[in-house]
Amino acid sequence: MSIIVLAFLMMTAPVMAADRVLFDNGHGERFQVKEQGPLQLSGLAGVIQGAGLEIATVDQPLSEATLAGARALVISGAFTPLHPNEIEAVAKFIENGGRVAIMLHIAPPMALLLDRLEVRHTNGVIQERENVIDGDLLNFRVARLKEHPLFQGVNDFTVHGAWGLINRADTAQVIAATGFQAWIDLDLDQKQSKEETASFGVVVAGTIGKGSYLVFGDDAIFQNKFLEGNNRILAANLAAWLK
């Protein structure tokens, strides 16, 4: 084959499977990469595609076969839990060099997966006193950030109903956290009484084998309605991390 023909084939070749990011659609996710509404993820999809990655969705059980050939997996806003076999498939995917990003809408369905990743979540969403948005303690800016490629050019980002996260092993670490006066409304009385204040993790980064993962305590960060300012820069950094 001549050098000219070879060069032409290289230029016209389709995106390889290794440049594919899979979005899980098999666990009750209501916010989709192909939808345009304010709470949908089409904006995030555009940012990821702009980084040179192909996006695909998977509505079948997660397995070695359904994850084969993908560079990364995103599980955003799942409402139903993964089967133990799926959890092990995701862990093996990471171990073999894959990257996985998990965004929580409701945390309990993801508890077993998070446990496999050495991460735990709080029993409720965070109420914050620092950097509150429009007086709503559930909506706030997260400004306590550790050095990580995810935060390049980002001083803070906004969340809108975030679950607290904590790492359970040295293979994971909290890389974004609230202030020290945050609390969880355990008795659901909408006021702090007996609840203790503390700093809660909002993003955890970890590794398994050759791969790595990110867990976000909130999925609204990347929804169309909130994908602006630093949240959009965060999305671009996430795309680069997935790549």
Task: Give the CATH number, domain containing residue 235.
Answer: 3.40.50.880
Residue 143 within a domain: no
pLDDT tens per residue, range 108-135? 999 999 999 999 999 999 999 999 999 9
Residue 94 within a domain: yes
Residue 166 within a domain: yes
**Summary mean pLDDT of the chain:** 92
The confidence band for 18, taking pLDDT boundaries of 50, 70 and 90, is: low
Which residue type does 21 have? V
CA 117, CA 171: separation in Å to the nearest integer? 9
Residue 135 within a domain: no
pLDDT tens per residue, range 169-207? 999 999 999 999 999 988 777 777 778 899 999 999 999
Residue 132 within a domain: no
Task: Indicate if the pLDDT at residue 22 is higher than 90.
Answer: yes
DSSP summary character for residue 218? -
Please list, residue by residue across 164-183, b when 16 or more beta carbons sit within 10 angstroms of its beta carbon and e when fewer do: bbbbeeebbebbbbbbeebb
Residue 96 within a domain: yes
The two beta strands, 20-24 and 54-58, are parallel
pTM, to two decimals: 0.91
Domain residues for the domain of 112 are 17-123+162-177+202-242
Written as six digits, the tokens of 132 are: 């509150």
Residue 194 within a domain: no
| Domain count within the chain | 1
What is the CA angle 239-69-63, rounded to 5? 100
Residue 26 within a domain: yes
**3-class SS at 2?**
coil
Distances (CA, A) of 213 to 75, 97, 130, 145, 173: 11, 10, 28, 17, 11
